[in-house]
Structure 1
């Protein structure tokens, strides 16, 4: 072995490479490829390799120079073709390996996409269940509000019954007063005036209570409007839930079609899809239950409207009784409002409804009624006592 560490194998590899390139394997060319080594050592190894090659070629020295060159050329070509075939085989193997890796990567991405779609569907299902819980809570609150409204309507009915009793009592007192006035007009004039004053005070209280009842009915109408709007919102939420359920069905169908190429994953996805279908079926049942509850609320709404109609009829009856009673008292009663007092317009059909004005004067007509001249920021309007109240 040479002092600088080069071996016969290294010289042989460089010699074969030079021959494959069509170059002569001289000492200088081999030393240039190796980058090290002495010329003597390289020449020694080249001679040994040449002798070995001559032995492998069955003593090419015994042949002619032309035949020796031909055999050497053929040997080099065989070696080159063998190297090319090995390189081509390695390239084909590399390409096939890359294709397999790409297929595995594509299948992995498809599998991840399927997992993400399943997670998205599960999240949407959880959101839908949360919305249904919200709807149940809202329905419970509505039921509590309706129960409270029914209780309040019952109290109002009892109160109106008490007012009817008071009106009948007032009518009896009024009849007695008229008889007393006819028989003892002169003797009991003082008592008659006191009775009339007390009666007028009670009538004023009754008018105030009637106005309070009208305001309560107005508030109940607003509550009814709010309940009706809530029912409409529940209807919209129910429709949204049905649309979401239909969307879930479509997404489940698309997921089945996308997972046909992955058999093992398809089995897992089919199990998950079956669970989602059961969940959607349960949600549809809950939706039907919500629909039935909405119909129940609408029935309760109709009952409330009937009760409202009955209350309105009772108020109309009381107003008729008051109109029958008022002409008898108008002939002798003094004005309810004095000049300079501030009054509020209570007639909802008047353009001055809920406006405050000041009484400038009043006029008693031949039929016993009193008309008041009321100033509204300089505008004088003539109003009856039924259309105004003290502000």
Structure 2
């Protein structure tokens, strides 16, 4: 478009510079001298005014061709104004549509950024969930191993307890046999003493010797009984310790069962997290579909924007062609172009003339 705000003094300086260099001050030459700025219509108007001020236009005003020139110039000016108005209107419409398309593209880009941010947050949450799941699985594996070890220890303690119980019963049976034997021996000795008291005095020494031997045997039996009592006390202490170990193992097993319940709760939470992850994945797929739809809409709007730019280029081309036509008309008028008179004008002129004498 031509530069607005062109002054007549600027056109006059450019015209004088061309005349000083011996060049013809045409519209294109003046416009080039002005730096390819200014409307050609405005430059033509100012050139005509300067020529009229110099007295050049006074010689052409009286002719019929000058009236036609003025008419053509006004027509060219009107065409140029209408072309400028249409160009400005189309430019405003196209620029408004371009602004709308730009705003829509910015909105789509913001939505795409938001979707990318949301997808990144979902992926971060998914990675955190996978890490928590791996940690929970590792803890479950450790607890399972600990539970198996506790079961093995409890089985071992139970086996040892059964062995100790069998040994204790064996010791009690031996102790009872010893008591029974001692009691039987005492009864036998009493009966023997009662029988020997009725026997002859000669057998007293033999009985005393046998009694001493029996006493020695009894001392040995008493020592065996003391040893058995010590073993029984030791086994009772071991049995008490074993029972404490069994109670400790039962408490550990109870804690293991509580931990297993907690792990079951963790597994249930893992199932819920898996369902949430599936929902997040479906949401991610939906967001990706929305993103693809947004990109398709963006491509469609980009195509519309390219069509608008093509229409703008065509409008500019049309305006340039109109300006070229106006310039050609103005140059024809400036070179003194005279249109041929019509048939009616020639006949009227011939009727107004007198025949020669």
If the length of structure 2 is used for normalisation, what is the TM-score?
0.51
Structure 2 equivalent of residue 65 of structure 1: none
Counterparts of 1:88 and 1:49, CA distance in 2: 39
* Alignment counterpart, residue 250 of structure 1, candidates 266, 273, 279: 279
Structure 1 equivalent of residue 254 of structure 2: 225
Pairwise mapping of residues 221-300 of structure 1 onto structure 2 (< 5 A)? 221-255=250-284, 257-258=286-287, 259-260=289-290, 262-263=292-293
| Per-residue deviation, 1:2 | 4.0
| Per-residue deviation, 1:200 | 2.9
Pairwise mapping of residues 59-208 of structure 1 onto structure 2 (< 5 A)? 59-60=66-67, 79-182=80-183, 183-184=185-186, 187=215, 190-208=219-237
User: Do the aligned partners of 2:61 and 2:67 also contact (CA within 8 Å) in 1?
Assistant: yes
Counterparts of 1:229 and 1:2, CA distance in 2: 108
| Per-residue deviation, 1:163 | 1.5
User: Do the aligned partners of 2:171 and 2:228 also contact (CA within 8 Å) in 1?
Assistant: yes
Counterparts of 2:180 and 2:68, CA distance in 1: 170
Structure 2 equivalent of residue 384 of structure 1: none
Would you tell me which structure has more strand in proportion to its own residues? Answer: 1
User: Do the aligned partners of 1:170 and 1:199 also contact (CA within 8 Å) in 2?
Assistant: yes
Counterparts of 1:53 and 1:244, CA distance in 2: 97
Q: Decide whether aligned partners of structure 1 residues 222 and 263 sit closer, same or farther in structure 2, where only a CA change above 3 A counts.
A: same
User: Do the aligned partners of 1:54 and 1:61 also contact (CA within 8 Å) in 2?
Assistant: no
User: Do the aligned partners of 2:157 and 2:246 also contact (CA within 8 Å) in 1?
Assistant: no
Counterparts of 2:293 and 2:40, CA distance in 1: 57
Compute the RMSD of aligned alpha carbons: 4.6
Q: Decide whether aligned partners of structure 1 residues 54 and 94 sit closer, same or farther in structure 2, where only a CA change above 3 A counts.
A: farther
Counterparts of 1:257 and 1:51, CA distance in 2: 81
Q: Decide whether aligned partners of structure 1 residues 160 and 89 sit closer, same or farther in structure 2, where only a CA change above 3 A counts.
A: same
Alignment: residue pair count: 241
- Which ranges in structure 1 are unaligned for 5 or more consecutive residues? 27-41, 63-67, 267-391
Counterparts of 1:165 and 1:154, CA distance in 2: 16
| Per-residue deviation, 1:237 | 1.8
| Per-residue deviation, 1:115 | 4.1
User: Do the aligned partners of 1:54 and 1:60 also contact (CA within 8 Å) in 2?
Assistant: yes
Counterparts of 1:49 and 1:247, CA distance in 2: 92
Tell me which moved more, 227-236 or 172-181: 172-181
Structure 1 equivalent of residue 243 of structure 2: 214
Structure number with greater Rg is 2
Structure 1 equivalent of residue 308 of structure 2: none
Q: Decide whether aligned partners of structure 1 residues 73 and 59 sit closer, same or farther in structure 2, where only a CA change above 3 A counts.
A: closer
User: Do the aligned partners of 2:115 and 2:291 also contact (CA within 8 Å) in 1?
Assistant: no
| Per-residue deviation, 1:216 | 0.8
Q: Decide whether aligned partners of structure 1 residues 59 and 163 sit closer, same or farther in structure 2, where only a CA change above 3 A counts.
A: same
Q: Which has the higher contact order (CA 8 A, sep 6+)?
A: 2
Pairwise mapping of residues 6-85 of structure 1 onto structure 2 (< 5 A)? 8-9=30-31, 13=38, 43=50, 58-60=65-67, 79-85=80-86
Structure 1 equivalent of residue 10 of structure 2: none
